[in-house]
Amino acid sequence: MTASNDDLYQQNQDRRMEEASVVRKIVLMTISVIIVLLLIGALGTFIYVNASMKAVDSDNDTTQVVEVPMGSTASSIAASLEDQGLIKNAFIFRLYVKFSGEANFRAGNFELSPSMSMQQIVDKLNDPEAGSTPSASAAVPEGSDIEEISSILSETLGINQQDFLDKMKDEAYIRQLISEYPGILTDDILQEDIRYPLEGYLFAATYSFLSDDSLSIDNIVHMMLDKSQQIITPYLDDFKQRDLTIHEAVTFASLVENEARNKEERNMIAGIFYNRLADDMKLQTDPTVLYALGEHKPRVYYKDLEVDSPYNTYRIKGLPVGPISNFSESSLQSVVNPKTSDYLYFLAGDNGQIYYARTFDEHEELIEKHMHVNE
């Protein structure tokens, strides 16, 4: 028997209703999944934003002077705060001050610390009584050694140069600093042949001081070590991957700093140093000779290469006993991410250009062509 038209119609209706029910379930399930994902995203965003607004380090009350020049934008201020390790996220800071209507910051110099929350920092930047003009500042260039730094501090801040140098050799003081900065200072800096234990660890930057009360040698040293700690700490895992101790990495960076003028040269020269170390060759870098001599002059002569010193890389293999100056972050980056090449030699020609060679014969040809060699 064949089904009647009424039966077929009912079957079709039942099938359509069943299909519609399945579609509704799929739609409801899809909407539910989307809602759950949105809720998870919203919760994740809330947690992230809330964490970004908290203090970077609630236990670190060390103050830093932040300069807010006239006409500074919220973006430039946010970037500066993030660079100095005072906020976790510059983008969140910009959004926060934009939507809170608190972006009209005052120009001046503000004492801020990593223990302050984002709201506390915003309040400080908006406080008409908080901003002040620094009583003094000192610009320490990249590639400066301890003795050069002592001269800069004497000229710009009135610090007694000999007192500063004496402090740099005070073992009890250095041991105290090692206990305060265990993340970057180790007993390696107390090796007997090291001239100044803190050589290389006083970071290159401009340091501002709001009152004469802060112009003590101890405060200045702490401010510079705070900056070094901020710069060096993110690279600690990279040092381990390169099988370098912190002291070796800082020493390495100081050599690169004194041999190169820009990032490209730093990356290439760092790679050449690695090649020479791998081939058990002496590094033979002139700045170490000058440091061993305790002199600053434009040219190293053959007679200078004979100076007997654990800093002289023409006489010793491997890295010198310690850094020969401070360095830029770019030099530190080149140590952990050097340019790969098969070069083993480089020289700075009389025109300032750096030339690279794979063999000693090629190197000799470059010397003859690009340098006026004095005995």
**What are the φ/ψ torsions at residue 346 (nearest 5 degrees)?**
-155, 155
Burial label, 66 (beta-carbon count in 10 A; 0-12, 13-18, 19+): buried
Residue 295, pLDDT score: 82
Q: Are strands 345-348 and 206-209 parallel, antiparallel or unpaired?
A: unpaired
Position 29 confidence tier, pLDDT thresholds 50, 70, 90: confident
Would the pLDDT of 129 be above 70?
no
Residue 358, pLDDT score: 92
Q: Give this prediction's pTM.
A: 0.70
Residue 187, pLDDT score: 96
Residue 147, pLDDT score: 96
C-beta of residue 259 within 8 angstroms of C-beta of residue 285: yes
Convert the pLDDT of each residue in 301-332 to its tens digit.
778 888 989 999 999 999 999 999 999 999 99
Sequence-distant (6+) residues with CB within 8 A of 243 are: none
Convert the pLDDT of each residue in 245-300 to its tens digit.
999 999 999 999 999 989 999 999 999 999 999 999 999 999 999 999 988 777 77
Count of CA atoms in the C-beta half-sphere (13 A) of 284: 13
How many whole angstroms separate alpha carbon 268 and alpha carbon 256? 10
Closest CA to 152 of 51, 232, 224, 238: 224
Residue 136, pLDDT score: 78
